[in-house]
Amino acid sequence: MKGRWFAVLGALAAAIAVAGDAYGSHGLPGKVSAALVERFARAMHYLLLHGIALAAIGPRLNSIAERLSLATVALGMLLFSGALALSVLWPVWHWTRLAPVGGTLLIAGWLLLAVASLFRRGGS
């Protein structure tokens, strides 16, 4: 995936997170429990933070290892945030079972980026 696509994905994720947070603040209370409102807010928080990171970092990465690390982060972001949000919005399946996979991918992706950055050729 080219760096600009990370920027596109990150910007879209951030936009969805802002809209989702507005819905979570104004549309969900009274319809679901306070615990589910908090779960949805956490999903939007993670989506926003990782979306901003993808948009900011993605276009600056050159190596395949660095891009693979961000692809791992992107997949983790989608699985983690998506699982939490879907468990609130569409509770017809055990979406939360996907959250640990997404969280693990987030951790792995950031660790991969750290290692790839240590061994980056050229530059500082």
Is residue 29 in some structural domain? yes
Domain for residue 49, yes or no?
A: yes
Structural domain containing residue 22: 3-118
Whether residue 8 lies inside any domain: the answer is: yes
Answer yes or no: is pLDDT of 124 > 60: no
**pTM of the model as a whole:** 0.92
pLDDT band per the 50, 70, 90 thresholds, residue 69: very high
Q: Counting beta carbons within 10 angstroms of the beta carbon of residue 4, is it exposed (0 to 12), middle (13 to 18) or buried (19 or more)?
A: exposed
| Residue 62 pLDDT | 84
Is the residue at 124 inside a domain? no
Instruction: Scan for tokens 């819905």, then name that residue.
Output: 23
- Answer yes or no: is 123 within a domain: no
Helix then strand then coil, in percent of the chain rounded to 5, is 80, 0, 15
| Res 18: pLDDT | 99
Confidence tier at 16 by pLDDT (50, 70, 90): very high
Q: How far is CA 91 from CA 33, 84, 94, 110, in A?
A: 13, 10, 7, 30
38 in any annotated domain: yes
Number of separate domains in the chain: 1
Q: Mean pLDDT of all residues in the chain?
A: 95
Report yes or no on 55 lying in a domain.
yes
